Amino acid sequence: MRKKLDMGWWHLPLSAWLLLVAGTTATAQGTLQDQIHTAITAFIIEQTRQYNSPPRIEVGRLGPRLRIRPCTVPPSAFQPPGSRLLGNTTIGIRCNGRSPWTIYVPVQVQLFQPVAIVDRPLARGDTIREGDFKMVERDLGALKMGYITDARQPIGMVAKRPLRIGALLTPQLLEAPRLVRRGEQVTIVAESGGLEIRASGEALADGARGDLVRIRNTTSRKVIEAVVVEPGVVKVRTGSHFP
């Protein structure tokens, strides 16, 4: 059996809800299972406070063969390296009391949040607009391939492959639009002594905003590196000599 906790009070101060957790246990206060349940709940709530709804936490019960005593001080929880915070996971519990110990407890954490879902078929290379997706509540712990919770993030991005209606939008499926294309003519901008100098060049690679790309000066034929700042415009980095 797993022990469930009503998380409706999760926005209370940490000290207040720790007292509530201790008061809701069915067994005597201070038992090992209660200590572990309280420590894990405290840890997960603290780690998920940035979300607008509380997590649903199920803490696995200790095996009957486990031979350790309740901690003489409140034990602390931690996330083992390489583990997930959400979904079916494992949380470590460390006791620093008179008889120190460390154990690992299976935990299931559900966290329901609105995520971006494709709302009309998209082709590869389509620029994402506001009506192309909608926000639908999903359990983040079940979305192992990633997700987008900010409704502003997909807008203006480009689909990297065809996407069907109902597909989950993830960062891996989107890329920033290319403002500079290989072989296109671009304007090279440089600043020197408060003056802005411009020249024409040819892009030797594609680039999105902020990318560093190689550019060939049309006049001098010199190849430089410049930052993409807007469609068809690149800027020489501060301190570089104008080509």
Residues 192 and 217 in one domain: yes
**Containing structural domain, residue 171:** 112-175
pTM confidence score = 0.67
pLDDT band at 3 (very low <50, low <70, confident <90, very high): very low
Residues 89 and 165 in one domain: no
- Is residue 22 domain-resident? yes
State the DSSP H helix or E strand holding residue 208, giving kind and residue range, or none if neither. strand 207-208
- Structure confidence by residue, pLDDT tens digits, 190-210: 887 778 889 999 999 999 999
Residues 203/183, Cβ–Cβ less than 8 Å? yes
- Residue 160 phi/psi, 5-degree rounding, is -85, -15
CATH number of the domain enclosing 143: 3.90.1210.10
- Is residue 243 domain-resident? no
- Structure confidence by residue, pLDDT tens digits, 95-148: 998 889 999 999 999 999 999 999 999 999 999 999 999 999 999 999 989 999
- Is residue 242 domain-resident? no
Domain count, the chain: 3
Nearest Cα residue to 118 out of 141, 140, 136: 136
Residues 145/130, Cβ–Cβ less than 8 Å? no
Residues 139 and 232 in one domain: no
- Is residue 241 domain-resident? no
Tokens standing for residue 177: 């639009």
Indicate the residue type of 202. Answer: E
Nearest Cα residue to 148 out of 170, 128, 177: 170
